[in-house]
Structure 1
Amino acid sequence: MYQKVTLDNGINILTEELPHVRSVAIGFFVDVGSRDETEEISGVSHFIEHLMFKGTDKRSAKDIAETLDAVGGQLNAFTTKEFTCYYARVLDEHFDLAVDVLSDMFFNSKFDQQDIERERNVILEEIKMYEDAPDELVHDIFARSMWNGHALGRPIIGTAGVIANITREQIIDYYHKYYDPSKLIVAVAGNIEHNRVVNKLQPVLERKKSNHSNRKLVLPTPHRDVVCRSKDTEQVHLCIGTPGLKLNDDNYYVLQVINTILGGGLSSRFFQEIREQRGLVYTVFSYHTSYHDAGLFCIYAGLSKENIDEVLELVLKQIWDIQNNGCSKEELQRAKDQLKGNL
């Protein structure tokens, strides 16, 4: 059972004690992601995530990398469309060290111009790598066509044109605007008591002043479209889908079950019908992605060009069947058990 403390500046501290392990995981979750960006600075959330590892007044980039490595710990981060996370995992005896490193990165990063230029090149190479992976790129193309003109439809990593021209001033302005204490949740789980966590974190976090800013959500408008991008590849990468459900929708878990039945694993209808019985694809699956106010439901297949029409027909047939005939009791129970087992 987790425990929660909210500091005067709005920072939430969540803990869950797990006495049967010897490690501790610490995550700094900030309520900002690529949906908070304008098109002119698309990718800045991800850019800042990279820059957080490049040095503070107390630690160089090498120091940050070596400090937790030296005690067998892990340090990493990731950016999503609605939040960014910086996290560490260490043995319980090194909890204080992990907090010191994470809090120093989070509040004291320098954003030095030389580091920005180096990391700009790293991200441009990352974009090139992504462009060379059509099985990943197609999902961004799908989201962009569904929510064209909205931040949720843009790639988290940004575009080469924007990343090449973004300035230090834009980066720092965005950081100060959105990395507000009221947007921060610190979550800790492992072999550590709640009071020890609070006693360590509270003096570090409570001195940070907050503007208590709230995110202003702009609901995306879905578009119907057919988008093709030509690349010299052996396979066609296909996405077909619809708007989905927001995170707190009453039917969220219903859709999760439907998704599992249709394309959520080796026993799913798509996999069994399209790959196992007919051999038309190597990969086929479906997924549902939810945000605060919107969602996407997508079906993906990697296949040869000559099989597109037949695969599309089989996909639509299965969707029609579950709409009109539902599913068997066995399918329903298997999907429920699969979802519970994946928690």
Structure 2
Amino acid sequence: MIRSTRLDNGILVLSENMPGVRSVSLGYWFRSGSRHEPPELNGITHFIEHMLFRGTSSRSAHAIAREMDAVGGFLNAFTSREFCCLYAKVQGDKLPLAMDLLSDILLNSRFDAREIDKERRVVLQELHMVEETPEDCIHDLYSQLFWQGHPLGMPTSGSAGNVGSFDREQIVGYFGGHFTADKLMVCAAGDVQHEELVAAVEELLAEMPVGEIDLVDPPPAPSPKIAVEKRPIEQVHFCLGTSAVSQAHPDRFACFLLNAILGGGMSSRLFQSIREEHGLAYSIYSYLSTHIDTGSLVVYTATAPDDFERTIELVLQELRNLKAQPVDRGLLDDTRERLKGNLVLSLESTDNRMTRLAKNQLYLGQQPDIDQVLAAFDRVGAEDVLELAGRILEDASLNLQVLGQVDAERLSLSDFSLTI
């Protein structure tokens, strides 16, 4: 059973008790991510996320790690474009310890100048690692292209220039203005009692300040674009994408199915065509990059330079096929059952249940029952997928990001079309 309570200072407490489970996953989710950052501070939320584990007024960084290790628990954090999350997983009876640790981190982090300089080096190494891994950095490059000039296009980790310039005053100021009670959701799933969770949050976070409402710029209207970053690497990596629906859009279930049919796994059309039939790539897949008010459907692969243009044309042909005729009923049913099965099996995890609480609240503003979600998948027909494909797979939103030894002069938007 899912329960929710809104505290006087704005904190939303969400819980789901899972009978028979002896562990609990706890997350402190802030509605503040890289999307909310100004360009000159891009990456600061991710940097703050790192700094929150570098010591408080009563615990050193080592003490934080030691206390969690001592009970066999797990403590971590991550930053995305629309939120930042600190989370822990422990045995049910160790939930008070996890809450005390996370609350201490939020209320009493020292942001010591020496620790800032030390962590700066760590984050810079993280950035260099991504930059030197083409199959990772290509996705950041695609986002920068598709959402050009908008915060959604900026990398969550920021740039080396920004990270190298953050000072303590900026970090403390940004933390104080964005990691506030009104932006916080405390979510727990597993061996948890809602009343006890609420009481603990009230006791531990009663003094947490309230901030100002974050105003976000609407995403830019999609436009066709090509970008090439030339590098002396053996393969050509590329992301080819178009518009997609947002996280809460009524057609999101049709979009999930379309994406899975196109490039979701070894039985997908892209995998069967590009790898199995033509042998042009080792890895090829599609994914949805979706947000509260926009989205993109993206295809990624890497191939030999001599096979680059042929591979792109085959990808475009699979996209055109989705627009040309309804998918086979048997394929649609198999894909539907696969996604439904994946969802149901994922709900055996306390981590997934906790994450589902937060994301449903962030994107939908409600907690749909699992049976409602399964029924929504069942309502999608082949004509729904066809109609959606015709609407989102358009030349007007086609974007191509290339990384490798390709001459930009060889590429023109007129050479790539989704028109059938």
- Aligned residues of 1:56 and 1:105 also touching (Cα < 8 A): yes
Verify: 1:179 aligned to 2:183, yes or no: no
Q: Supply the distance in 2 between the matched residues of 1:292 and 1:96 (Cα, whole angstroms).
A: 33
Question: Who is 2:219 aligned against?
Answer: 220
Tell me, in whole angstroms, the C-alpha distance in 2 between the residues paired with 1:22 and 1:248: 33
Residue aligning to 1:270: 270
1:270/1:315 contact within 8 Å kept: yes
- Larger mean Cα displacement after TM superposition, 155-164 or 246-255: 246-255
3-state DSSP of counterpart to 2:164 = helix
Q: Percent identity?
A: 39
* DSSP 3-state at the match of 1:228: strand
- Give the structure 2 partner of residue 153 of structure 1: 153
- The runs of 5 or more residues in structure 2 that have no matched partner are 344-420
Quick one: distance in 1 between partners of 2:250 and 2:96?
41
Deviations 1:113-158 (A, max 9, x none): 1111111111111111111110010011111011111110011111
Distance across 1 between alignment mates of 2:7 and 2:238? 47
Within-5 A mapping of 1:149-298? 149-211=149-211, 213-221=212-220, 222-298=222-298
Q: What residue is the counterpart of 2:26 in the other structure? A: 26
Alignment TM-score, normalising by the size of structure 1: 0.97
SS of the residue 2:225 aligns to: coil
CA distance in 1, matches of 2:273, 2:243: 24
Gaps of 5+ in 1: none
- Give the 5 Å matches for 1:325-336: 325-336=325-336
**RMSD (CA atoms):** 1.1
3-state SS, counterpart of residue 265 of structure 1: coil
Structure 1 moving runs of 4+ over 6 Å: none
Which residue number in structure 2 is paired with residue 70 of structure 1?
A: 70
Task: Name the SS for the 1:231 alignment partner.
Answer: coil
- Alpha-carbon offset, residue 19 of structure 1: 2.1
**Contact persistence 1:25–1:87 (CA under 8 A):** yes
The alignment of Structure 1 onto Structure 2 pairs a total of residues equal to 342
The residue that corresponds to 1:135 in the other structure is 135
2:49 & 2:89 partners in 1: Cα distance? 18
Q: In the alignment, which residue of structure 2 is the partner of 1:14?
A: 14
Determine the structure 1 residue equivalent to 2:324: 324
Task: Give the aligned partner of residue 383 of structure 2.
Answer: none
Moved more, 333-342 or 33-42: 333-342
Tell me, yes or no, if the aligned pair for 1:56 and 1:104 is still in contact at 8 Å: yes
User: Deviations along 1:201-242, whole A, 9 cap, x unmatched?
Assistant: 22112332324x322121121342211112232211111001
In structure 2, C-alpha distance between the alignment counterparts of 1:24 and 1:293, rounded to whole Å? 31
Q: What is the distance in 2 between the residues matched to 1:197 and 1:188?
A: 8
* Equivalences for residues 48-59 of structure 1 within 5 A: 48-59=48-59
- Following the alignment from structure 1 to structure 2, what is the Cα–Cα distance between the partners of residues 186 and 206? 13
Q: TM-score, normalised by structure 2?
A: 0.80
C-alpha displacement at 1:316, in angstroms? 1.1
